[in-house]
Structure 1
Amino acid sequence: MIPPVRRLAAVALSALLALGVTSLGGPVAAASASARTSSWVYSVTLAKTAADVQKVAETWKPDRLKKADSYSPATPGSQSSTSAGATTVPSPELTPAKATKIPLSVSPELPSKGSAARTMGKVFFRFGDKEYWCSASSIAAKNRSVVATAAHCAYDARQAKPADSWIFVPNPGPNGETPDGIYVGAAISMHEHWPGRGDYDYDYAFVTVHRGFIWVSKGGKLVMQDVGRLQDIVGGQGLAVAKGVGSHVTTFGYPAGPQPDGTRPFDGRKLLSCAGSTRWTVAPSLDLQYGVQIQPCNFTAGASGGPWLIDYQAGQGLGSLNGINSLTWNRDAKDGYDAVSSPNFTAATGEVYRHAAAVTTPANVT
């Protein structure tokens, strides 16, 4: 019989592996790695042409989106202080290697119409024949078409393959509604250490998306109707890197998975938040050397990829992205998760973002 603490560790490990056990494939041709614009950036093409977008769109018609709550909330797993050798590191002197370029700062942007942004939402994707989802947010960019999420919500580092049929739905309704459109992923931009090593210090991705659309009925058939570029419709969060720890952060997500004791306090239909000051943390078993953590926060699976915002203004719904939900933690190995962590956003994160913000997409996909 497995002792209680070791049983918790086994549950965490099985959750970590669950995301990558299914082979990948689907309606879009296999993604290909593009040339890197720097030694840090690894880009993977998802849907390149209007025809590719339409193939993905066919996967996510309203009848399938209505079943969204039955899909699996993706998660890389969780950590407990006993099972993963996790410790809190108080030293402010930790500096990840290669964080040498001038830090990037991007201002948040309101949508073209309206006085408040609506940037948070869910990403839906497939691994093989199974659907998954995560949390995500729109980020201000010169191409007005960038989504930030966790890298494990876009690319399976264990099998070195991207997710298939990837879309972003801001502000999804409880019955599959897409009031602000559906945005098909065009390309994933990541730090090379995620696809290369599965290093959780780099579990973030910036996904460039195509113009959005909604499904409308015309002549008894469903057709795609263009709604425009993502940032024009919902706005975009800013970006702040190289901030270290000690900042007050508000983190958002759509938690849905069970707590360690088997209870399910969340259903994934509501956008929830946690807030607190950041501190360093590490998880050697996941190669996390420079993690940033806030506690308390009882997020579960489904919150992965949700934004960490500093200087968040609730009235406008805007702040500056300083992290994403990467790992949930059960630090005391008791009944519930009590913390969440993000990779540390460094100057290298800014380089990955710059690549995503420069990707161009077709002017019309409908």
Structure 2
Amino acid sequence: MAITCSNYRRVLPSVSGDDEMKRTLVALAVGLLASGLVAAPAEAFSVKTDPLVSSQGAAVEVATFWLGDGGANLKNATPYNVQTAVDLALPRGGVSPDNKPVTIEPLPPSTSGVVGAKTPTTAGKVFFIGADGQPHWCTGTSVQSKYHNLVATAGHCGYDTQRPGSTLDKWVFVPGYSDGTTPWGLYVGKQAYTHYDFTTYDDYDRDYAFVVVYSGVVSSPSGGLTNFGRLGDNVGGQGMAWNQPLASSVDVFGYPAGPHPDGKRPYTGETIESSSGRMTTATVPSLKAEEFIAVDSPFTGEGSLGSSWLVRYNNSSRMGYLNGITVSVADTDRNLRYDTSLSPYFDGELGQVYSDAVLLWSGAILPA
């Protein structure tokens, strides 16, 4: 799967509080995957990227933190409750493609062990330490990439909005997580990518992140760590789609766990859940979000942040195209039950963040 890259330059502005400076100049030209890709548009914005660990040795320490003591920290983590719900989501707003539509074909897993799975093995939990110093989790999804090492999630499940400009600590991805198990290994985050406007201006229309992960590890019988191979080889990777018309149907996969406003808890957060609905546009005043999309979904907010929205999902292959990521939920009819999930619209600016992330190689954290 060949990727070609042209030289490009990012120009970062000095930070100020003026929202009129939200767009900064940058010349971007990146060739994408040969299978179904076209060049992304040149847009006036910058990609924000930051390391999640300082070295492979530090990555080993992160993996040991989560897998040690029988995975106690995984089991004790709680669903992230930052920006999980909004008071008002208006059924209006405008989203429009900024260039031609782009689709990237899914990556089927190379292992046979996923046969028989009823939900996408690409879905899993991302675990991290929040600003409160406690272990938390969101939902994440393995997506197609050159090095089979990329995870998509909500921007505020990669970057800490309570500590502006900072990434979340001890970030890992566990695909297929269920009841404390790591059936397809644990993958330590190496580098995070998001839109500059999200971390600098709290622009929730850009609340998405892509994280390059190291190859997986599992606990060994001796209590140490054992290599487990690349993420995409083990579970595959969902395709990508941006600058698309709103789909008539989209399947949502995540780990909802929190309560509805009425206090009821229909989900445990221990296993992957799914829902489906039609996409519409939405405006969220509390987030100053004018380019959101919405889907009918009964998911509660806590735990489902980062849930994948897959268009053209195939129940047999469990593959589709990522075209949305849950960043919040809403109770639009005010009956004290969440009924809507919300996502930024995927346009060419998201495509450029993704295109930068797919070019980074990671490798393993342990010797072969």
Does the CA-based 8 Å contact 1:138-1:148 persist in structure 2? yes
Cα drift, residue 336 of structure 1 = 1.0
CA distance in 1, matches of 2:27, 2:58: 24
Does the CA-based 8 Å contact 1:69-1:268 persist in structure 2? no
Who is 2:202 aligned against? 198
TM-score, normalisation: structure 2: 0.81
TM-score, normalisation: structure 1: 0.82
How many residues get paired? 318
Who is 1:235 aligned against? 236
- 1:135 maps to which of 117, 122, 139: 139
CA distance in 2, matches of 1:48, 1:289: 37
Cα drift, residue 264 of structure 1 = 1.4
CA distance in 2, matches of 1:334, 1:63: 43
CA distance in 2, matches of 1:363, 1:131: 24
Who is 1:25 aligned against? none
Amino acid at match of 1:353: Y
Answer with 304-313 or 68-77: which moved more: 68-77
Do residues 54 (structure 1) and 60 (structure 2) align? Answer: yes
Does the CA-based 8 Å contact 1:167-1:182 persist in structure 2? yes
Cα drift, residue 361 of structure 1 = 1.6
Who is 1:171 aligned against? 176
Deviations 1:201-258 (A, max 9, x none): 111101000010101122xxx2111111100000000000011324310001001111
Who is 2:23 aligned against? none
Who is 1:94 aligned against? 95
Does the CA-based 8 Å contact 1:157-1:194 persist in structure 2? no
CA distance in 2, matches of 1:232, 1:288: 36
Cα drift, residue 188 of structure 1 = 0.6
Secondary structure in 1 aligned to 2:91? strand
CA distance in 2, matches of 1:163, 1:244: 33
Cα drift, residue 364 of structure 1 = 4.7
Does the CA-based 8 Å contact 2:91-2:280 persist in structure 1? yes
The correspondence of residues 177-216 of structure 1 with structure 2, limited to 5 A, is: 177-216=181-220
Does the CA-based 8 Å contact 1:182-1:212 persist in structure 2? yes
The correspondence of residues 219-230 of structure 1 with structure 2, limited to 5 A, is: 222-230=223-231
Cα drift, residue 87 of structure 1 = 1.1
Secondary structure in 1 aligned to 2:220? strand
Secondary structure in 1 aligned to 2:269? coil
Do residues 346 (structure 1) and 347 (structure 2) align? Answer: yes
Secondary structure in 2 aligned to 1:217? coil
Identity %: 33
Cα drift, residue 296 of structure 1 = 4.1
CA distance in 2, matches of 1:147, 1:235: 11
Does the CA-based 8 Å contact 2:73-2:135 persist in structure 1? no
Q: 1:69 to 1:264 in 2, by over 3 A?
A: farther
CA distance in 1, matches of 2:264, 2:145: 39
| Structure 1 unpaired stretches of 5+ | 1-35
Cα drift, residue 64 of structure 1 = 6.3
Does the CA-based 8 Å contact 1:53-1:365 persist in structure 2? no
Give the superposed CA RMSD. 2.0
